[in-house]
Amino acid sequence: MELAALGFDDWFERYSAAVLQPGQSVARVMAVDRGAFLVRDQDGEVPAELAGTFRFAVGSASDLPCVGDWVCVQRHASGGPAVVHSVLRRKTILRRKCPGKSVDFQMIAANIDIAFIVQACGWDFNLARLDRYLVIANEGAIESWILLTKIDTVSPSDLEDTVTHVRRRCAFANLVVLSNTTGVGLEELRALLVPGRTYCLLGSSGVGKTTLINRLIGRDALDTKAVSGTGEGVHTTSRRQLLVLDGGSMLIDTPGMRELGLLGAGDGLDDTFSDIREQAERCRFADCSHTDEPGCAVRLAVDSGNLSEDRYQSYLKLRKETEFHDLSYVEKRKKDRSFGRFVKTAQKSMRKL
């Protein structure tokens, strides 16, 4: 398969010229599973491992290869795993705050053209979580589409209400409603898939992502499990992988994420809540927090009914969260740099002995 069919274009060609070394070739990361890699170039797929110099030179785990990345690899003539020497510059990124108390980035995938944010009608539908997904996609410069699945499990009136809520909350987002069971909406989704472009499915465990991929592929390429007694699906995906569909488009499947913390997502927050950003431009004070300042255009929009209270509260919550984590990340980086300087000083002292 030619690299162009995997999404390698002039943009990546330009940045690869500066890092590609003799004996190396460009390959795309097709799967990542517990530190193991599978890459694909014009000669096919091969397992890969990180070069020792590359592993120890990276400053953060987010600098390591993730699914969708383009990397410089060296294949061995005798076979065996290829060696990854570097990661090309990423055109788009999908990342979140690391789960738990750790304040750092966790890469989910890279070089995605469109993210399909999947929510199931009924038990999974959650506007606040939808806001988070949209912020993460916008922060990574990725176009978003919202997929409402399992429409066969709700009544037509409930589906209409759900669609209305989404359109009011996310007026600028594209929306597709579908059912993996009846096939409604699948052809509309297939029509969106363009050869050579990369798509990603984002959503909680059990919303039907794996079943949807199998329907798009036309066979049971991925394992699925039956839904629970509550109608909730069961988590099946355990690794991130990029699949090449028969039509030439590519689809990244990701595990369902219980935690979706925001870090470094200020721009994504503004883009997701562009209606609030536009209102904020009319605030009396440039540094208005949109809470209790006089002359706040955002509060005025809420009080007059032009901006829903729920959307306003979601914005405040996400802004507070990302600001808090951003400050914690800055402090962490300062400590990391201080510790790095301490180690270098200690090494120099040891060499003098």
CATH architecture of the domain covering 93-253: 3-Layer(aba) Sandwich (3.40)
307-324 pLDDT, tens digit each: 999 999 999 999 998 888
Pairwise pLDDT comparison (8 vs 79), residue with the higher score:
8
* Three-state DSSP state, 327: helix
Q: Which fold has domain 266-342?
A: Ribonucleotide Reductase Protein R1; domain 1 (1.10.40)
pLDDT of residue 36: 87
Parallel, antiparallel or unpaired: strands 250-253 and 198-203:
parallel
Q: Enter the tokens of residue 174.
A: 């594209």
Parallel, antiparallel or unpaired: strands 114-120 and 198-203:
parallel
Cα–Cα distance measured from residue 49 to residue 51, given in angstroms and rounded to the nearest whole number: 7
pLDDT of residue 210: 87
pTM for this one?
0.82
CB proximity list for 114: less than 8 A, separation 6 or greater: 142, 143, 144, 145, 192, 197, 199, 200
Pairwise pLDDT comparison (4 vs 203), residue with the higher score:
4
Inter-residue contact 185 to 94 (CB < 8 Å): no
pLDDT of residue 158: 94
Share of the chain above pLDDT 70, in %: 87
Domains 3-87 and 93-253 share a fold: no
The stretch 291-299 carries a mean pLDDT of 93
Class of CATH domain 3-87: mainly beta
Q: How far is CA 157 from CA 174, 177, 309, in A?
A: 21, 14, 24
pLDDT of residue 228: 36
Q: Is 80 left (phi over 0), alpha (psi -120 to 50) or beta?
A: left
208-256 pLDDT, tens digit each: 888 899 888 876 555 544 333 334 444 444 568 999 998 999 999 877 6
What rounded mean pLDDT belongs to the chain? 86
Per-domain boundaries in the chain: 3-87, 93-253, 266-342
